Structure 1
Amino acid sequence: MNQAVTINEFKALAERLGMPRHQLAEKLGKSERTLRRWETGESPAPRVAVDLMRRMLQDSTLPPGEPSFTFIDLFAGIGGLRAGFEAVGGNCVFTSEWNERSRQTYLANFDCDHGIEGDITKVPVEAIPEHDVLLAGFPCQPFSIAGVSKKNSLGRSHGFLCEAQGTLFFDVARIIDAHRPAAFLLENVKNLVNHDKGNTFRVIRKTLEEDLGYRIDWRVINGRSFVPQGRERIFIAGFRKDTGFSFDGLELPDIETGPRMSAVLHPEDGSEEAEHPYTTGARARVSDKYTLSPKLWSYLQGYAEKHRSKGNGFGFGLVGPDDVARTLSARYYKDGSEILVRQKRKRPRRLTPRECARLMGFDRPGRPRFEIPVSDTQAYMQFGNAVIVPVVESVAAYMLPHIHDAMRANLGQRELALEVPQGLSVG
């Protein structure tokens, strides 16, 4: 239950942690302004935040710099899930990403002593190290559903070994089955729940809950709480032991008061340094190459008018500093039509890759600049396929005490197994 706590309880825990307000706010996935309200009693701190602070106090007994849990990063893309879980003290011990250019960006931004594996379907489970948490932004592929009775009549296996075989979700399942991590977080498009009339999600739930025995919950989260972009994704959290986890207590900033495009657009007033090839000159103006050509702008206008005349809503999306953008997609490199920036006395322009990095939360004030070592085309595809980093950070912070609870339960199970005489089972 997400009950509020007294101001004294919150202040006592904050004092014992001894963190600067900005650091504590980051750990809790909240703004400094929210913490000030809790400190003054303007609004009560939620129980979930205080529980997390207690866990942080327990974990402070670890040697400085020692991670509180290990995780693996599957279908890693450019590291959005990793960034979120590193922010709450996790240590990545294995990475898999098949796309060569995405691996290039990943390696430019993360220490990866363990290297990056390519095609996860070709990696044997014994080659993957033990880990506490599994992260996977797995692609959604069609699931072939067949009745168990029919499979039995043909002498074939059923359960996830049958229904999810041939999909990339199967590879997530086989790794969970082999390593039994304390927890996992899976991310996908929000329509996963309705894909194939709900059959896809039914197989996923059955696999995780019945076949693998995990307790799961899920939530569709709109990244607009953190960045000026409407972007909904489903997050599925699972725990090997029942820790009482539920997404019901996860509090997010109000969508309506979220940031606007001014937070990500180049100011073009000299307040930031020019960054070739995105901006040029003393005032760091956006390079002309991002302005649409007359031919493309004419085409997009004609295309939009054609659909408007038919009563459809298809067309381009124009934004200015006070607006919120549509969802950035992997096809953005084609014409940029979903997010075009207005320009005075000029045709609209595409976002620069640097602005895309900000729009996805990879670049934020006070953080090291996210390196973009690839072409614009590749960058647009990579950011369009990525997760919004501050969303993952909030989910990771919310999951953290439950991860530690599940880890302790896992440890107790292993210790008990060592004490049980051979031939007996501990369940």
Structure 2
Amino acid sequence: MSSKIPDIVKHRVSEKAKKTLDVVAKFVEEECIPADPVLEAQIGEGSARWDHHPPIIEDLKDKAKKLGLWNMFLPKGHYKESPGYTNLEYGLMAEWLGKSRTASEATNCAAPDTGNMEVLAKYGNEEQKAEWLKPLMDGKIRSAFLMTEPDVASSDATNIQLSIKKEGNEYVLNGSKWWSSGAGDPRCAIYVVMGKSDASNPDPYKQQSVILVPANTKGITIHRMLNVYGYDDAPHGHGHISFSDVRVPARNLVLGEGRGFEIIQGRLGPGRIHHAMRSIGAAERALEWMLMRINDPKKTPFGKQLREHGVILEWVAKSRIEIDSARLIVLNAAIKMDDLGPKATLREIAQAKVLVPQTALTVIDRAVQAFGGAGVSQDTPLANMWAQIRTLRLADGPDEVHLQQMGRNENKRGKEVTQKIQWQKERTEKLLKQHNVKLFQPGSNIKPKI
């Protein structure tokens, strides 16, 4: 809520955003979190899990629309469709959404739709916006983002092999994708697909294009849905999909041939911020569950309540420090993105992308440990939260890719700092001579024993 906005950023949050933040917090705590178990119950069991859309989501969407909580993620100043919030302001809201399984979809702020809507809003032409962006923003359909492939190391996106070949007024797609999140949903109507359109281009970053593929196009086969640590995420799902001579109109190409990397970088920057702030929310909720557990009078190992064991309070204190620190890392990235755009914020976005999931996992793991066997079962939300956030260390680029890039960029300062330190040493020598003193070496005044 607005009273908990960190003081360091409060001056950058509008009164409108503060009021909306309070509404978001109340909606999540009073409507969405209590509805999370209802969602699971309505999804059901067996193959039926993939055949229907849980009605609780539509109930929540109706409530969210009436409260004005809809599509808050599109930042002002960048999109004419924006509701008027900055990346920073939405980041604060996304933290609350991250506390609930239903909240993001209820407010039409769920991935991968958010990133796909940003692609269409920023890069799509008017025809593409009318056909796909409007129904997505209205919450009438859902979408999937197809980038990762099973047969190559997709952490390096230049390896992507799905081919996009121009034939007359059509493009023909052949290849396979997996971790196609959202592809299992019966309402998924459009795939945003990245593939290779010009393998011979000498610039490896201009070989790829992005194209819009209707989910019901002939030649598409969904082979299976992939589990995440045993969770199938029905009916959303993460599809393993193949394309065999899939033909789509040439007008479905986004922005132009060879613009794929440009589009994807524009998509992933804000998305990483959204993921990070939702992870902060999950960590906050895990800490709340841990506090409940350690204050349960029925749980008294070795004759004491859990809160009376020193190590437990240390877990609480460390969790508070880590969550608050991680939040500032993300908000700093959001501010810079608001001021300079995603391209100028690569370092800060990468910092948040790497740090926050690791922080959230640490906090959730402590809460699991406090609950013992219950923590790894379905009786708390902790196990599912851990599984979902663990995937974020791989999604949108694995940690190692971001760390390598950050390390490489930081190391560019090596020559500069070496020269600076050497100059400082030389300056010290001059000052020592000027003041006629020598550096004291510990032990130098002890006479050796003979």
Tell me the TM-score range normalised by the shorter chain.
under 0.3
For CA contacts below 8 A with separation 6 or more, give which structure has more relative contact order: 1
Normalised to the residue count of structure 2, the TM-score between the two structures is 0.24
Structure that is richer in helix per residue: 2
Normalization by structure 1: what TM-score? 0.25
